[in-house]
Each structure stands twice: as C-alpha cells, then as structure tokens.
Structure 1
Amino acid sequence: MTKSKSFSARTLDANALKSFAHPLRLRIYELLDQRGPSTATGLAAILGQNTGATSYHLRELARHGMIEIAEGMGRGKEKYWRIVPGGFTYGDTPPDAEAASALEFLLDDLVRQRGAELAKWREAATRAPAEWVAASGFGRRSLRLTTQETAELRDEVLEVLERYRSISDRRDGEAAAGHELPMGHVVIHFDVLPLGAVPDEPS
C-alpha cells in the first residue's frame, strides 16, 4: 500500500501552463530562482529589455501564483519580486491541445535548463571552494522495480526534498527581511524515468 504524500508542491493548471510557456517569462523566473529577489528594472538590465516589458511579464507570473512581492524590500514604490515558496509541478497531460502544447514547451525547456546546469557545474567545480565540491554529487541508478515501488521511491525522495525546501523557504523569508546569510544556491535534479516500460521504436 502506497503511503500518502506529505510534500506540497502546487500543480499548475492549464491557464498557468499557457502563461508560463513564454521564453522571457521562463528566463525571468530562472533569474529570480538563481539570484533571489529583484526588481523589474534590475531584470530589464540583465535581459536587455525595457522595464515596461519586464514589469508586464512579472505581473503575469504573479497573476498565476508563480512569484510574489518580497515584503520589506525596496523603497517607495520600488517592488522586489521573488519566487513563491513551495515550488510547483507540471502534473499530468492537460485536457486541451493548447495547454498540452505549452506543457511540451516547458518540458523541453526543463531538459535544456538541466543540461545547462550540469555543464555549468562541471566547469565551475574546478574553481569552487573545496567544501562545496565535497558536498556536491552526481548520481544515476538503474533499478528493476514494480510500478508501485517506483511510485513509492519517487514520493519518498520528494518528501526529503520537501523537508529541505521548507528550510530554504524560511531562510528566504529571513533574507527578504534584510538578513544576510552565507548560503549557496543549490540545484537538485531528480527524475524517475521508466524507460523500460516503453517499447523500442522499430528501426
């Protein structure tokens, strides 16, 4: 019997998928994830866009609950935006063709981003502090499991990730309140790919 899930990542609905499947919004979200809270002006400078464009795309991301205003940061009308704590998942194949196409776009971008991050760390590890290199790791396992065991493995790993995500979210809140903490931006890649369940295409 599979135990109930304790992790709480939000599943994007069809409208959120369609909105998120936009190259500039993906890049804005990626920058906020990598660098922490930022303003429309700061993002515009990095992306080579005008502030009006980045402001519009930030509002769209916020409208679908992807990002939010970082309270306690900025002066006057200046707004800092941050990733909404809790993370998200793309879920199953959406019911309509437009959302399904958006999901394909997002999954392709996810593969691109993971490849880029792996390549970046392979190069950066030669210059990174020794303690961070020692704490990092590449991993791959090839197992023979039932469908139920596969789902249980996935859920157990996601529960561990959820525990550390909660710690990270609390620290993000402290940083947003003006506390500087010596933390590193750590990326964890985790995939469960039942490749053996798919017949090989005829040659």
Structure 2
Amino acid sequence: MQIKSFSGRTLGANALKSFAHPLRLRIYQLIEEHGPSTATGLAARLGQNTGATSYHLRELAKHGMIEVVAGMGRGKEKYWRVTPGGFSYGEARPADPEVAGALDYLLDDLVRTRGAELARWREESATAPEEWVQAGAYGRRSLRLTPEETALMRDQVFEVLERYRALSESGDRDGTGHVVVHFDVLPVGTGDGG
C-alpha cells in the first residue's frame, strides 16, 4: 500500500544528517514557536555568538528547512522563518547506517520534545486564558484495527491537519496562538518482541 504524504517535502539523506544537530534543532524549534527571527536574536536566546547561529541558519536554509522572510529586516539583517508546507522524515528506514543514525537522533528528539511540550502545557494550563484551556485537549485511544483501517484513519486525520496547516500558513490573523498537535499511530505489540 502506498502511503500518502501530507508534507511539502521529504528530507533526503543529506538533509537528515544536517538536521540531526542539537543547535540546528533548537534554532528550528525557536523559529517555529516564536516566528521569524534573526541570527542576532537567536544568538541571544541560545547563549551563542551570532557567527554560530548564522552558520546554522544557512545550513538549515541549504536544506529547505527555513527561508528568509522577504521585506523584513534592514540592511543586511535577515529574518528567517520555517519554510511553509512541512516535511517528513521519509517512509522507510535508510540503508545507510549514518543516515539511519541521524533519523534515530531526530525521532528520539521528537519523542523528547513531545514529552516536554505536554509537561509545559500541563504546567501552563493552570494560568492560561480560559478560552485556550477550553480549546485544548489531551487524548488517547486504544483501538483494535486492521493495518488497512489504521492507514485509512491515519490518512483521514492527516487530511484534517493539512487543512489547518494551510490555514495557519495563510498569513497573520488576529487572535492566533502557537498550537502544537501531537498525533501518533502506534501499532503496539506487532513486532518481534510483541
């Protein structure tokens, strides 16, 4: 069965290896959360020098992860944003051990980040505006499905998420906030150790 991609692009081997860097991941996450940023602003947030953040920004841009925002900044100042459309890590495990190691690093970071985001919201929800508390949700379902049903459900959820991603990237709108959606489909117990 062909898996439908809901991302603007799939990261190739060189992009995976480049992205699997702690500072690049953190820079990407900061831009994603706070919006367009300069090398100087990121350096201040990260306790780094501007040369280091500039280098890592260029590396992220080289692989299409971020891009310069046209019309922002003065002189040589560049504001960087996450490239619209999203990305995926690919469908299959890479055969190249170096690329597979980079993918493992990125997936482990994804799991850590999700845990940190959940813990952060759990803490922040006590003082967040009521409309945001009411809009948020925690969810977990345990289902008995076939592989075909699982793939269909996954694709339908991603179709909904894609509509909201497009809305999110449609420009500045009043009343928006940074919203993170976690969605995983985990066929637990189907492997050799199951």
Alignment TM class, shorter chain as reference: over 0.9
Give, in whole Å, the separation in 1 of the partners of 2:30 and 2:165: 18
Change (3 A) 1:196 1:89: same
Report the 3-state secondary structure (helix = DSSP H, G, I; strand = E; otherwise coil) of the residue aligned with 1:138.
coil
Task: Write the distance in 2 (CA, Å) between the matches of 1:6 and 1:89.
Answer: 8
Provide, for residues 38-77 of structure 1, a one-character-per-residue CA deviation record: whole Å limited to 9, x for no partner.
0000000000000000000000000000000011111111
Provide the C-alpha distance between the structure 1 equivalents of 2:96 and 2:14, rounded to a whole number of angstroms.
Answer: 10
Aligned partner of 2:191 in structure 1 is 198
User: How high is the TM-score relative to the length of structure 1?
Assistant: 0.91
Secondary structure of the residue aligned to 2:67 is strand
- Residue number in structure 1 paired with 2:41: 42
List gaps (5 residues or longer) in structure 2: none
Give 1:96 deviation, angstroms: 0.7
Inter-partner Cα distance in structure 2 for 1:127 and 1:50: 34
- The residue that corresponds to 2:14 in the other structure is 15
Aligned ranges 1:41-190 → 2 under 5 Å: 41-91=40-90, 92-171=92-171, 175=172, 181-190=174-183
**Aligned residues of 1:7 and 1:159 also touching (Cα < 8 A):** yes
Counterpart code for 1:80: Y
Measured in 1, the distance between the counterparts of 2:143 and 2:79 equals 45
**Residues matched between the structures, number:** 193
Q: Is the CA contact (8 Å cut-off) linking 1:5 and 1:155 kept in structure 2?
A: yes
Q: TM-score, normalised to structure 2's length? A: 0.95
What is the Cα-based RMSD across aligned positions, in Å? 1.6
Q: Which runs of 5+ in 1 are unaligned?
A: none
* 2:7/2:88 contact within 8 Å kept: no
Paired-residue identity, %? 69
Q: Is the 8 A contact 1:5 1:159 kept in 2?
A: no
